[in-house]
Each structure stands twice: as C-alpha cells, then as structure tokens.
Amino acid sequence: MSRSQAQIAMSYAPGQHFTFEGAAGACQAMPSPNATPARPEQTTKVQIEMRIDEVARAWFDKAMACRQSEANVPAPLPEFCVDVSLLDTSRTQYSFRPTAFVYLKPDRMGYLPRPTTLICSECGLIEATANPKQMGQRLSELSEECPHPKRPNDPSNCSWGQLDVIFAHWSGSWKPASPNMTVYDQATRRPIKRFAVCGKCGSRQFVLNKDQVALSNWSFSCANCGTKNPDPWVEKCDETLGRIASSIGPGGNIVGEASMEKINYAASSAYFVKSDTFITFPEGSGIEALEPGQARLLAGVIERLVGLEGPALDDAEVAAQLLAKERKAEAKEFDELLQGLKLATDNNNQVVADFMMKMRTERLANWQQAGWLQRNAALPLAITMKLQQRHEWTGKYDPFRLLVEHSALTKTKLRGEIVGGRASYVDFSNPDEWLVPPNSPQRATMVQNAEEAMRFLGVRRAGLISKFDLCKFSYGYSRVGNTPKILKHGRMMPVRLNLFPKVQTAQESRHPVYVLEQSNEAFYFQLDENLVRAWLMQPELGCADASLLSDYPNNFAAALLSSAEIMSGYLEEHDRKSNPTIYKMTYALLHSYSHYIMQGIQQFSGLDLGSIGEYLFPTDLGFVVYRNGMTLDLGDLSALWRNHHEAFLSYLRNFPTSLGCNLGNLCMTKGGACPDCIMIPEVICLTANKYLSRSTLIGRGRPDFIVGEERIKGYLQLALENARAAQ
C-alpha cells in the first residue's frame, strides 16, 4: 500500500482499522515481516528503550493502582494493565526487556479486510462471517442472490458491505459486531458462545435496527418474523471473561469488566497509538548524560550546565575519598603522581610538570566517572530533590532532560558550523546566501527588519536550523481509553497498554517498534530573559515563588529548576487550578508563543499544522518549531523567510489582530485558549493543548489553570512597551 512512512508509523499502525481512500473496504493493519530493519545509532536506540520503559512502567503503576481507593473490589490483574511481554515470567511484576523488541522502518505494513460482519444497506440483513476469506466468498454469493426471507432471490436492490461498527474493550481486544455473542453463564460460571436464534420462529437471520442517536441503542430483529432480539447487544472480551469468570460474584469481579463497547471502527477511541518523538544527537554531544548508566553523573552535568558547579576537590579530599572507597591502588598511584609533580616543580622541569598535571586531571576524571570520587554537592537542595524525583516526569516534560538536550543542540547545531555545504544554524540577524543574496540591499533590509521585530517581540535570538534531527517511533496501542484507567460500569478498569503484535524475525518473534528518523528545517526562538523576569514579577500575576527570581538574580535556569513541579503523562495536575509559579508560567508562555509561531508559519509557508511540530526548552527560554514529515523537505521554512519574512514578522507584530479569537470575551474568560484561536490539533501539540493561553502573550484575561482573578499583562505587550521606551 502506498502511504508515507510517517503515516504508516502513526495512522496505520498495527491493530488500527482504516479505509483505503476511494475504496469501500475497511482493513486492519498488521505488522509485516518484510519491513526493512531500522538501524538507529546506539544513543538513539538507548533513548527509545528508555522512553518505552519509562512510559510502560508509569502506565503499569497507574493501572495497577486504579482501584486502590475502592473497598472490597479485587485489584486488577497485571496482565490486563500492560502487555505480558512487559511482565516478568510469573506475570506479577513489571519487567522491561529490550530483547522483546525489533526495530523496523515503517516502509511495509500488512493488512487484512476487517471487520468481517456484512450488512445490506438496503434490506438491513446482517451476516457475521468468520474470517476475511469467508467474507470474500460470501460477498460474491450475496451478489447473486439476496438471502432475505421476505425478498426471495432478488439481489438487484441489495447493497452489501462491511458493518463499520465493532466491539472494543479496554484490554485492547476487539470483535466485529455480530448477533452471535459471548455471554457469561451464571450456572456454570463460564463464558459461552451463543449463536443468535429467533425465540419465536427459530430463524437465524437478522436485520440491524440502527438508532439515529446512539450506537448503544442499536439492536437486531428477526428477519423472518420481525421479533426483536430481547438480549442487550453487548459483546464480551473473551480473554477478560475467561480470566475473571470464576471469581464473578459478591465482593469479587463483575461481568461489566468484560463488557465491550460498541463503537465505529474509525472513531478516535477505537484505537490510540503509543508513540513518541525526540531529538537525536550524535555520540559525544553530551546527550549520553541521560542514559540510565550515567545517572550518578547527571547531578554534575546539571551543575555545570546551570553554572552552579561546586569547588573542586583538594588533594587531601581525593586521597581520603579513594581510601574510603577502598581503592588502595588508586590512592597509591595518586600519591606517586603528587610526589612526581612536586619533584618536577622543584626542579623547574616544566615539561614533566605539565605531563604530571595532565595525568592528574585524567585520573581524577576517570575516578569520578567510576564513582570513587564525589565532588561536594553544589546544587541547591531544592534542585537536588527534584533531580532525585526525575523519573516521575514524562521524558518530554523533564526539565533536566530538556536542559541536557538544549546543551547538546547548542553544541551540535546552534553554533552554526557548516555541515554538508550549509550552516547548521543561520541566525536571522545574519542570513546566509540561502536566505538572501550576500552584500545586497535586500540583505540589509532583511537584517534590519528581523532585528527590529525581535526587539518588539521580546525575542533574544531567532534563526533557522537547517537540519533538525528527530526520531519518531511507535510501539503499541490502547483501545477505548488513552490513559491507564477508565471508569466503566461503576468501577475503575485498567486500560491495557498493548505492544504491537509480534513479527517473525531471524531469531524469534518480537514486538515491532517502528522507527522513523527525519531531518528537516526548523525555526529556533529564544525569549529575552530580562523581559521574562519582568513579566513573571508583575503583581497582577501573583507568582507564588517569585522570590526564587531574587534568590538567583544572575541565574534564571537555577530559579526555574527550583520552581519546576512534576509534569507527568497526561498532565492531570493541569486539570485543577493551582498557584502560578515561575516554571509553570514560563512553560505556558513558551508554549503559547510556540503555537503563535506555528500559526504564523501556517499562514505564510503553505504548510498545514499537521506538518509542523514543536519542542520546548523551558529552562533555556527556547523553543523550536519544526517541519514534520518524511516527504521531501523542500526547504519550506527557508522559503518562508526568503520570500515572506516581512509579512510573517508583521503578522507576529500585529498581535491584537493575529491573536484575536472570534469567541472574544467568552474565550478570554475561559482562559484564552480555544480551538478558534490558539489551540491546534491535539495529536500535534506537545501537551494536548494544556498550559496554553493567549493571555500570556496579549493579556486581557487570565489563564484558567492558575488561581486568582486579576487579568495579567501579556509578554508581547511588555515587549512592545519596552521596545518603544528604548526608541
């Protein structure tokens, strides 16, 4: 099938139902063993494993705990919380094995015609078939002769096709909707398969009664005598019912736990793909600091990046620490090194002294790496404690990760080194020949426009990253719910995180992970620290931890890290109002600004929002808006700047209009973010449209996720005042 790889990895991922464009039939995607193996770099592979592990572990914990607060209710079974491949052999504990996965490029996907229940849109007759093959055979028979008992033999008006309704369960199972159902048999306490038979005339032919309002009211009646089938049309998940049937009863499980939901296969809740995106960096960029094996060293890395490094160890401390760790040989070596160094210095032998100093530095670095030496902690307690809770943040929101990633981005891209004939980063204040002819009058105008606009927009730095390297991957799915638990039939149910069905590889069958690496253009923006500080300090905002800003007058990153609170998975904390903090508000500001830029890009580049993505670096006040997709990158963002930078910048500067909303006051009183203005499709947004408010940019209201009543001042208003005052 001809689909882009990005589409296959995300929208046609295994288990997903879909329709071929222009064709009537529905299909279900299946992993293909013929997909090309993906060979991501080691650092990328480790990142993927870490991210799956992180998400799956958090999912397992949340799903397992879903009934914690309910008395006399059996806990969910671990195997219904996550795929059994994510459990230990006893199927009780979470366990992650990288060997369970195989990395594939999403260049080939199999599919089967499904669901396999047929319906005639003319006479309403419904027929379940057992598999795609049988369905095909039956379809050709039906075109010859209508089996409807009241319309003998005339197929001319009949129109058979697949019934687009399926039954889905939060365990991830699904079934075609058929009058033949699995039911729970109270007498034997077992599931049984019941083939529908009319209670009055014994006919096995039924017509579907569609309810215009609700799928849940759909029923079927005898095609022969018209008697309505008296049983509720609710299918059961065979696996679930099989496991709980014997414990159904007072104080135990309930039949509802196995009940499936009637749903259109194309409805969004029928299938949620599990995927993630991250920036890839080459070996040596410093990104290794995030790998699990490096956890001990991360504090040191963070210290350095934030500029809070403590004093170096003196010689006596080094010796004492080595001995305390029982590294006698190393202590002896260190002592000899010091003696050699002293001798060389005494003899004024500079060459040997330099050599000895180099050895000393090298040894210390090695011993520190090995964990035998520890520098005095210089990170403030508030930050150290957050670092210890780091695992509770979801990767894409983890401020420490983002700090390390921004540093790696700075090292590998933002220095603007020439790679493959083009600068890896081009600042808008210094455009290269790809954006404007060198030494031309247009260039001078372009630079002037950009610099002035940046002042008026509170932007410290902005430019084009010519190759923003991203890895997207998908590895599993859930159905009915997109989060680990869901309330159904008066009881919390675990939603299962399913891995994609296994495919046969050279050695054994493994779960496919579809990996897509792309390298497209991106815009980089960094806001003005002084302005952000001033914006956070405004009395109208009532920032709860504004004092951190004065605690760190010269270190904004330290203030932000001290303020950061856990942002996990589904950002549930965002659903209740909380105190404004400097981290939260900075995050919302960057995020709202990023959406604003995305909308500007959409206006002037011809790219739609579906092919743009965002990445935020809160501690560095930076964000990236990138061209997303695998289709040939035709340099859309370069072209936007080359041809439309003036219009683009005017659009951004004209924020009273460009950040307006047709809902006007109604939108502002609801926090200043709605689908009419600053929201974008949830699947594209980093936070599913949370931490978003036009008020952060243009004032006139107050974000709805923070407490308080006062209207805040917008960052763009502040930037405008500031720029005017400076003129």
User: What minimum distance in Å lies between the beta carbon of 683 and Zn ion?
Assistant: 11
Residue 634 CB contacts under 8 Å (≥ 6 apart), including other chains = none
Strand partners, 162: 118
User: What minimum distance in Å lies between the beta carbon of 223 and Zn ion?
Assistant: 8
Pairing of strands 17-19, 125-128: unpaired
User: What minimum distance in Å lies between the beta carbon of 186 and Zn ion?
Assistant: 26
User: Which CB atom, from 120 or from 697, has the smaller least distance to Zn ion?
Assistant: 120
How many CB atoms within 10 Å of residue 374?
15
User: Which CB atom, from 103 or from 397, has the smaller least distance to Zn ion?
Assistant: 397
Q: Is 661 in the site for Zn ion (CB under 5 A)?
A: yes
User: What minimum distance in Å lies between the beta carbon of 628 and Zn ion?
Assistant: 13
Residue 520 phi/psi, 5-degree rounding, is -125, 170
Q: Is residue 51 a contact partner of residue 101, using CB atoms and an 8 Å limit? A: no
By CB under 5 A, name the one of 32, 43, 180, 203 that touches Zn ion. Answer: 203
By CB under 5 A, name the one of 29, 128, 158, 567 that touches Zn ion. Answer: 158
Q: What is the DSSP string of 287-300?
A: GGGGSGGGHHHHHH
User: What minimum distance in Å lies between the beta carbon of 526 and Zn ion?
Assistant: 18
User: Which CB atom, from 119 or from 454, has the smaller least distance to Zn ion?
Assistant: 119
Q: In this structure, what token pair is assigned to residue 302?
A: 């963070």
Residues of span 305-334 touching Zn ion by CB under 5 A: none
Asked if the bond preceding 115 is cis, omega within 30° of 0, the reply is yes
User: What minimum distance in Å lies between the beta carbon of 579 and Zn ion?
Assistant: 22
User: Which CB atom, from 136 or from 675, has the smaller least distance to Zn ion?
Assistant: 675
User: Which CB atom, from 513 or from 697, has the smaller least distance to Zn ion?
Assistant: 697
Q: In this structure, what token pair is assigned to residue 271?
A: 């299938």
Pairing of strands 498-499, 459-478: antiparallel
Q: Which stretch binds Zn ion (CB under 5 A): 83-91, 200-208, 441-449, 605-613?
A: 200-208
Return d(Cα 94, Cα 511) in angstroms, integer: 17
User: What minimum distance in Å lies between the beta carbon of 618 and Zn ion?
Assistant: 13
> Which candidate, 67, 84, 85, places its Cα nearest to that of 76?
67
Q: Is 225 in the site for Zn ion (CB under 5 A)?
A: yes
Return d(Cα 534, Cα 542) in angstroms, integer: 12
By CB under 5 A, name the one of 27, 66, 146, 457 that touches Zn ion. Answer: 146
User: What minimum distance in Å lies between the beta carbon of 552 and Zn ion?
Assistant: 28
Residues of span 663-722 touching Zn ion by CB under 5 A: 663, 667, 674, 676-677, 685-686
By CB under 5 A, name the one of 173, 205, 224, 240 that touches Zn ion. Answer: 224
Residues of span 488-547 touching Zn ion by CB under 5 A: none
User: What minimum distance in Å lies between the beta carbon of 208 and Zn ion?
Assistant: 11
SS3 per residue for 309-352? CCCCCCHHHHHHHHHHCCCHHHHHHHHHHHHHHHHHHHCCCHHH
Residue 297 phi/psi, 5-degree rounding, is -90, -10
Residues of span 89-128 touching Zn ion by CB under 5 A: 120, 122-123
User: Which CB atom, from 122 or from 231, has the smaller least distance to Zn ion?
Assistant: 122
User: What minimum distance in Å lies between the beta carbon of 634 and Zn ion?
Assistant: 24
Which three-class secondary structure state does DSSP give residue 523? Answer: strand
DSSP single-letter state for residue 94:
B
Which three-class secondary structure state does DSSP give residue 101? Answer: strand
User: Which CB atom, from 125 or from 289, has the smaller least distance to Zn ion?
Assistant: 125
Residue 422 CB contacts under 8 Å (≥ 6 apart), including other chains = 432, 434, 466
By CB under 5 A, name the one of 9, 48, 52, 198 that touches Zn ion. Answer: 198
User: Which CB atom, from 464 or from 698, has the smaller least distance to Zn ion?
Assistant: 698
User: Which CB atom, from 362 or from 676, has the smaller least distance to Zn ion?
Assistant: 676
Return d(Cα 196, Cα 270) in angstroms, integer: 25
Rg of the chain in Å (alpha carbons): 31
User: Which CB atom, from 222 or from 612, has the smaller least distance to Zn ion?
Assistant: 222
| Number of shown-chain residues binding Zn ion (CB under 5 A) | 21
Return d(Cα 502, Cα 647) in angstroms, integer: 51
Q: Is 625 in the site for Zn ion (CB under 5 A)?
A: no
Give the residues lining the site for Zn ion (CB under 5 A).
Answer: 120, 122-123, 146, 158, 198, 200-201, 203, 222, 224-225, 227, 661, 663, 667, 674, 676-677, 685-686
